Amino acid sequence: MIIMGIESSCDETSVSIVEDSRKILSNIIFSQIDIHKIYGGVVPEIASREHIKAINYVAKQALEEAGKTFNDIELIAVTKGPGLVGALLVGMSFAKGVSAALDIPIIGVNHMEGHICANYLQYKELEPPFISLVVSGGHSYLVDVKSYTDYHVIGRTRDDAAGESFDKVSRALGLGYPGGPAIQKASEKGNSEAIDFPRVMLEKDSYDFSFSGLKTAVLNYLNKEKMAGREINPFDVAASFQASVNDVLVSKSVRLAKEKQRDKFVLSGGVAANRDLRNRLTEELNELGIKVYYPEMSLCTDNAAMIASAGYYNYVKYGADTLKVNVIPNLGLEKE
């Protein structure tokens, strides 16, 4: 099956052509980072307009690179949520237009499922069941993946997600946007033990996440040091903050993997690009005999290939949607 994946949930316009669920024929990504950088974050209205300007060109390039035409496409998989409503509507409208004009089946895809499925594109041998930590700009999930379409969410963010906290702390330190790469780069020059920021574990045995308190602790530290006239070392702050986030993510991930006795662990989402997180999870889980998977950098960030892969598995299990399928900006990961 030749699938066209379409992703426009935030600030990347992406169209991909994927064969079945694992073979990428093309994966074109137009990033708006340079446009939003001057604002310190994504401006929803600007993001929507940029998607409108880019999507036709990106789709044409994806088809050309794959050596395909619209007549070769057998399924259109498009992100329906979660994400920015205006941005999502651009991808959905384009997908519906192609589906209606050429009578190609369409299926709406959960963006967070897509992040998990990104690993199938890189590791042909990977199959469920496994535990997955999904960490992105707006979401943090610990999931027991029982099959290609059966996700049991065991832990989720209660306030700020990991990626969101990286962006906010990076902005406070003047390191720029996006926060993840900026914090990681700054951390390499800092001492992760210089400042004792809190590790919020919540209730005993909880697998949920909360990073708003950590973000507030960092901001309070910066204000306190400025008021006292003391010089702030941004590299030490970045390194100490990153260590605090990763301590929580790694601790809960390892505990859940042991509890569920899974022999595979999958890391996914934009924050999966963080080297310290990758290395620590790999080291601690490998000691327990658990193999760790994480996608290459281009598949960590938002892309349409992961949407095509997730769309394939959902289409096989549930069939196509109708043209009444709509965007759901606050879509959760668990199926109804």
For residue 176, tell me if it sits in a domain: yes
Residue 137 assigned ligand-binding role: yes
pLDDT band at 335 (very low <50, low <70, confident <90, very high): low
At residue 55, does pLDDT exceed 70? yes
Based on the fold, state whether residues 156 and 276 are members of the same structural domain: yes
Q: How much is the average pLDDT of 210-232?
A: 95
Q: Do 226 and 309 belong to one domain?
A: no
How far from 289 is each of 38, 122, 125, 278, CA to CA, in Å?
45, 21, 17, 16
170-192 confidence digits (pLDDT tens):
999 999 888 999 999 999 999 99
CA distances from 237 to 80, 190, 218, 232 (A): 37, 8, 8, 8
Q: Is 244 annotated as belonging to a binding site? A: no
State the DSSP code for 281: H
Query: Looking at the structure, do residues 249 and 109 belong to the same domain, yes or no?
Result: no
Please check if 135 is assigned to a binding site.
yes
User: Does residue 306 lie in a domain region?
Assistant: yes
pLDDT bucket at 203, cuts 50 / 70 / 90: very high
**335 assigned to some structural domain:** no
41 pLDDT band (50/70/90 cuts)? confident
111 is in an annotated binding site: yes
Task: Report the domain count for the chain.
Answer: 2
Q: Is the CB of residue 197 less than 8 Å from the CB of residue 218?
A: yes
Residue 254 backbone class (left: φ over 0; alpha: ψ -120 to 50; beta: rest):
alpha
The verdict on whether residue 180 carries a ligand-binding annotation is yes
**Quick check: is 328 in a domain?**
no
Q: Is 119 annotated as a binding residue?
A: no
Kindly report, residue by residue over 226-254, the tens digit of the pLDDT: 999 999 999 999 999 999 999 999 999 99
Residue 29 in contact with residue 53, Cβ under 8 Å?
no
String of b and e for 258-287 (b: at least 16 CB within 10 Å)? eeeebebbbbbbbbbbbebbbebbbebbee
Average pLDDT, the chain: 95
Residue 39 lies in a domain: yes
pLDDT at 336: 43
Q: Please state the rounded mean pLDDT for residues 244-273.
A: 95
Task: Looking at the structure, tell me whether residues 285 and 304 fall in a common domain.
Answer: no
Q: How much is the pLDDT for 17? A: 98
Query: Binding residue per annotation — 160?
Result: no
Average pLDDT (253-273) is: 94
Q: Structural domain of residue 281, as residue ranges?
A: 127-294
Evaluate whether residue 289 is within a structural domain.
yes
The CATH number that applies at residue 215 is 3.30.420.40
Assess whether 265 and 154 both reside in one domain. yes
Provide mean pLDDT across the span 204-232.
95
Is 167 marked within a binding site? yes
208 and 276 share a domain? yes
Same domain as 106, residue 9: yes
- Pair (210, 288) in one structural domain: yes
